[in-house]
Structure 1
Amino acid sequence: MTPELPYASETTPEGLARLIEHIRHAAGQGDLDPVFVRKLAKRIGKEFQEMKAARPGDAGLAGLESGIEALLLAADSGHGARLTKSLQRLRENEGASGGASPASH
């Protein structure tokens, strides 16, 4: 039985930065589901941590952490925007149906 080799990421810091930017842009445009973006950000964060552990002191990793945080922020604001739109639609529907909801009685 051969021992398993430890995982070594082949992802470059530049590639990860470009991926973060593409996802952040698409999320900002509303093209990606915020829950999906949050899951991607968590996975990217894990990849970043593995890269940091394998390449201590690598200057190419600078800025990636703030990029991941910006991605999470984009997911949160996208989620907030969806909640706001849903609330607005609920209010519009209440107004169209007479304004009273069963919960308000």
Structure 2
Amino acid sequence: MKALKELSGNHILGNPLRLGIMLYLLPRERALFRDLQKVLDVTPGNLDSHLKVLEREGYVKVYKVIADRPRTAVKITEKGARETGDHLQKLRSLLADAVGEQRG
């Protein structure tokens, strides 16, 4: 149950919305703010507050891009990808243990 203790101690990815942001970014590396907002079905203010936490902790980088007009983009960092991957591995381990206990 070491993995359970480690998971519960991660206050960044323990939040479902922040985990959702990271899971969306992981295979894509970057996304526009509005795309994240639509996919996650959250208000701009709610998304912004969670992105600030992720950026402060070094999981993402928020920046402006100029296309037809200025837009906000979000990029996953190496730390963010590593921490999200580790978190997913711990979840897999817990699920495997739980399934094993049910069968066992």
Fold equivalence (TM over 0.5): no
Name the TM-score class by shorter chain: 0.3 to 0.5
Structure 2 length-normalised TM: 0.37
Greater percentage in strand: 2
TM-score (norm 1): 0.36
